[in-house]
Amino acid sequence: MDDSFPHNIAQVAEWLHHADSVAVMTGAGVSAESGIATFRDAGGLWEGHRPEDVATPQAFQRDPTMVWRFYNARRSQLLQCQPNPAHYALAQLERDCANFCLITQNVDGLHRTAGSRNLIELHGDIWIDRCWDCNHAQRVDKVSAEPIPACPKCGGMMRPGVVWFGETLPPGAINDAQAAAARCEVMLVIGTSSMVQPAASLAMFAAQAGAKVVEINPQATPLTHSADLVIAEKAGTAMPAILEAIEES
């Protein structure tokens, strides 16, 4: 089998070109080339922190100031980051495709900034504040000066609008993601270690429903052996190359 980079790119481009419905699942790797640390790679976000110290409801109840310090540091970092060619290529793919859904585990908002519209943010959005007490939610665009932002409706503590370990996914998000996985003819799985459920199972769900599953990731993951095609490249290299190949076909 010819599994060279140009051959694989041409194959994915052909599948995408002929597909009426496309779904994409992204993880932290799609934002790596924007300068955002992934979770599990060396030097990753969890390396200096135990996830249960900063990303659980119990951690927030125990020490909300510490949790906000962590998320404010992330927000400050994100303000310095821009979408990369992979984000832009995915936004362009959506414009070229009749039925397109982008499912992301990322909370950084870069897909939206790049122009993606039909977007399911499975793990929430770091740029939302949500009240711990009354659930009031609001979009924010800067780092709060207060150690713990207060709810404008009830005065309660605001928390970041992300999904923490032990919490359920946003209502509707997983159903919409499963529906997109079930109806797609091609699913691209980009920059995720495929280790966190239920996100990781969506690719298997798509495969069982007959979709071609393509993994784009420089490292092997638990999904690699069952993918129809693997492009072992960085997302910022592979995605623009795929778009170019579609445009030439």
For residues 8 and 193, which CB has a smaller minimum distance to ligand OAD in the complex? Answer: 193
**Within 202-241, which residues bind ligand OAD (CB under 6 A)?**
216-219, 221, 234-236
Give me the sign of the Cα torsion angle 96, 97, 100, 106. Answer: negative
136 binds, among ligand OAD, Zn ion, none (CB under 5 to 8 A by kind): Zn ion
**Within 147-186, which residues bind ligand OAD (CB under 6 A)?**
163
Gap between the Cα atoms of 232 and 121, Å rounded: 25
For residues 40 and 136, which CB has a smaller minimum distance to ligand OAD in the complex? Answer: 40
For residues 27 and 161, which CB has a smaller minimum distance to ligand OAD in the complex? Answer: 27
Closest CA to 230 of 212, 246, 216, 245: 216
- How many residues make contact with ligand OAD (CB under 6 A)? 27
Helices 201-208 and 173-183: crossing angle, nearest 10°?
A: 40
List 83, 109, 149, 191, residue binding ligand OAD (CB under 6 A): 191
> Segment contacting ligand OAD (CB under 6 A): 4-12, 21-29, 57-65, 151-159?
21-29
Per-residue tokens: 55: 């990303």
Gap between the Cα atoms of 213 and 226, Å rounded: 8
> Segment contacting ligand OAD (CB under 6 A): 7-15, 26-34, 69-77, 109-117?
26-34
DSSP secondary-structure letter at 170? P
Rg (CA), the chain: 18
Residues acting as catalytic residues: 123
